């Protein structure tokens, strides 16, 4: 009876209103379920390790925004449209703005590691930890895609060499080509892993970034000089694409680095943690997401930086980002990001059948259910796969560090201990 009433209410709404209602219902449902799991001790609470500002409390919501973005795309796909951005600034930027902020988070966290490194720092340890952090879950998801394609295609027909090459491109973050002739194979993961290639490109640039920061320090330049110059260059080259790589993503990584420089000034951080700045952050977020057709340009990225700056400074947004549920979702955000495509493709692509010619009303009612399923499964994959892999990576990296005394680019720094985030 409740489902019938909700369906009738949704049917009378414009799709944007219906999507907003469904999105808010999704967040509420996820919170209720995660709180119940925490209360019954079915899942562990968030670890008490040092965290950088309130970044970890934000991650989960960013991943849920990407989920909603792809849900809307699927909704229009089922109505007969292609796989294309939603016809709405807000719902297009739910995904794009979330990706931009994810890149800012990466820039902030690893810039902090670079400027805080001392004689114990090891590049080998950093890269090994990244491999163990990113690869296991991604390969599991890729294996699931391969299994789905094998089932749908009747056992991977076609040229074995070409199929193997396509699989290797998937496994090495070189794109998501069609597998075994199945068109739109990347749709099984909502094409979300494309961002991981940019993450790896940033990781590979870190030694060069360390050299630039060291050179700036030796010339007695302000510590913020390097990220400021990179951000300026990123703004200039933002419209350019080079060899398939969009240079518009240089800026968010640089803005994340600049956020570290600003929030490490106590007076600035104290100001940004004030409740008034939470409202400024919300306004900036709303402006960037509703007034621009894409967040992959410099102007909305700079506006999003205002929001990110408050989060990096530790603004809890009225306690939301410091709530245990938010931290649990933050820990599981990588799983949410990678697994939601599989769940959406199973529901939208297989259970609903062919396109109906118009958006099905009850699809919006399904969003809270699907979001809750994705988040719940993701919490368990974090604890059962991601966390053990992270721990194994740390042990392996420590072994490498103990086995070698060669640490390129290492130097001692007079500043205090590094601030870490639990998701590094």
Q: Can you give the pLDDT at residue 379?
A: 95
The larger pLDDT score, comparing residue 360 to residue 300, is at: 300
Report d(CA 397, CA 11) in Å as an integer.
Answer: 55
- pLDDT tens, residue by residue, 246-255: 999 999 999 9
Q: What percent of the chain has pLDDT over 70?
A: 87
pLDDT at 49 > cutoff 90: no
Report d(CA 132, CA 44) in Å as an integer.
Answer: 22
End-to-end Cα distance, the chain: 46
How far does CA 300 lie from the centroid of its chain?
18
Least confident of 18-27, 105-114, 153-162: 153-162
Cα-trace Rg, the chain: 22
| Confidence grade of residue 43 (pLDDT, cut at 50, 70, 90) | low
Report d(CA 385, CA 332) in Å as an integer.
Answer: 11
Q: What is the dihedral of CA 33, 36, 40, 41, to 10 degrees?
A: 60
Mean pLDDT, rounded, for 100-125: 90
- pLDDT tens, residue by residue, 70-103: 999 999 888 878 899 999 999 999 999 999 999 9
Report helix, strand or coil for 162.
helix
- pLDDT tens, residue by residue, 212-232: 988 888 888 888 889 999 999
The larger pLDDT score, comparing residue 36 to residue 315, is at: 315
Q: Can you give the pLDDT at residue 286?
A: 96
Cβ 293 vs Cβ 98: under 8 Å: no
Report d(CA 9, CA 18) in Å as an integer.
Answer: 9
pLDDT at 404 > cutoff 70: no
Q: Can you give the pLDDT at residue 2?
A: 43
Report helix, strand or coil for 245.
strand
pLDDT at 244 > cutoff 80: yes
- pLDDT tens, residue by residue, 350-380: 776 655 555 566 788 899 999 999 999 999 9
Q: Can you give the pLDDT at residue 412?
A: 45
Indicate the average pLDDT of the chain: 87
241: which strand partners?
246
Q: Can you give the pLDDT at residue 243?
A: 81
| Confidence grade of residue 325 (pLDDT, cut at 50, 70, 90) | very high
Least confident of 172-176, 185-189, 339-343, 418-422: 418-422
pLDDT at 171 > cutoff 80: yes
Q: Can you give the pLDDT at residue 416?
A: 42
The larger pLDDT score, comparing residue 131 to residue 352, is at: 131
Q: Can you give the pLDDT at residue 367?
A: 94
Least confident of 280-284, 309-313, 321-325, 396-400: 396-400
How far does CA 335 lie from the centroid of its chain?
10
- pLDDT tens, residue by residue, 20-33: 999 999 999 999 99
182: which strand partners?
179
Residues 6+ apart with CB under 8 A from 223: 115, 213, 216, 217, 261
Closest by Cα among 411, 401, 398 to 119:
411
Mean pLDDT, rounded, for 262-280: 95
Least confident of 149-153, 257-261, 274-278: 149-153
- Whether the predicted model's global pTM rises above the 0.95 cut: no
Report d(CA 330, CA 33) in Å as an integer.
Answer: 15
């Amino acid at each position: 009876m409740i489902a019938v009433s909700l369906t009738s209410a949704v049917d009378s709404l414009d799709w944007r209103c219906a999507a907003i209602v469904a999105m808010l219902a999704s967040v509420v449902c996820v919170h209720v379920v995660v709180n119940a799991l925490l209360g019954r001790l079915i899942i562990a609470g968030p670890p008490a390790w040092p965290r950088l500002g309130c970044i970890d409390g934000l991650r989960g919501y960013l991943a849920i925004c990407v989920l909603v973005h792809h849900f809307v795309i699927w909704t229009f796909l089922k109505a007969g449209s292609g796989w294309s951005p939603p016809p709405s600034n807000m719902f297009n930027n739910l995904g794009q703005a979330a990706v931009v902020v994810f890149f800012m988070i990466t820039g902030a966290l690893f810039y902090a590691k670079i400027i805080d490194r001392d004689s114990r720092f090891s590049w080998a340890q950093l890269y090994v930890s990244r491999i163990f952090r990113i690869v296991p879950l991604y390969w599991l998801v890729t294996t699931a895609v391969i299994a789905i394609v094998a089932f749908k295609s009747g056992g991977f027909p076609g040229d074995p060499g070409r199929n193997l090459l396509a699989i290797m491109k998937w496994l090495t973050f070189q794109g998501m080509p069609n597998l075994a002739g199945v068109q739109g194979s990347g749709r099984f993961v909502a094409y979300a892993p494309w961002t991981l290639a940019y993450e790896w490109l940033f990781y590979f640039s870190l030694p060069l970034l360390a050299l630039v920061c060291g050179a700036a320090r030796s010339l007695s330049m302000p510590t913020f000089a390097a990220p400021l110059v990179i951000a300026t260059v990123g703004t200039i080259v933002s419209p350019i694409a080079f060899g398939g790589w969009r240079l518009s993503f240089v800026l968010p990584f640089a803005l994340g680095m600049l956020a570290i420089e600003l929030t490490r000034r106590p007076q600035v951080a104290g100001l940004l943690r004030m409740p008034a700045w939470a409202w400024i952050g919300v306004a900036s977020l709303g402006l960037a997401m509703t007034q621009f057709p894409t967040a992959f340009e410099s102007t909305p990225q700079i506006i999003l930086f205002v929001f990110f700056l408050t989060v990096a400074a530790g603004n809890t947004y009225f306690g939301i980002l410091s709530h245990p549920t938010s931290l649990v979702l933050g820990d599981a955000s990588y799983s949410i990001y990678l697994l939601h495509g599989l769940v959406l493709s199973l529901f939208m692509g297989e259970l609903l059948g062919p396109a109906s010619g118009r958006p099905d009303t009850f699809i919006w009612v399904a969003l809270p259910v699907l979001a809750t399923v994705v988040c719940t499964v993701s919490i368990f994959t974090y604890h059962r796969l991601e966390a053990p892999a992270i721990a194994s990576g740390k042990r392996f990296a420590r072994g490498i560090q103990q086995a070698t005394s060669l640490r390129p680019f290492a130097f001692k720094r007079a500043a205090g201990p590094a601030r870490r985030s639990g998701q590094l």
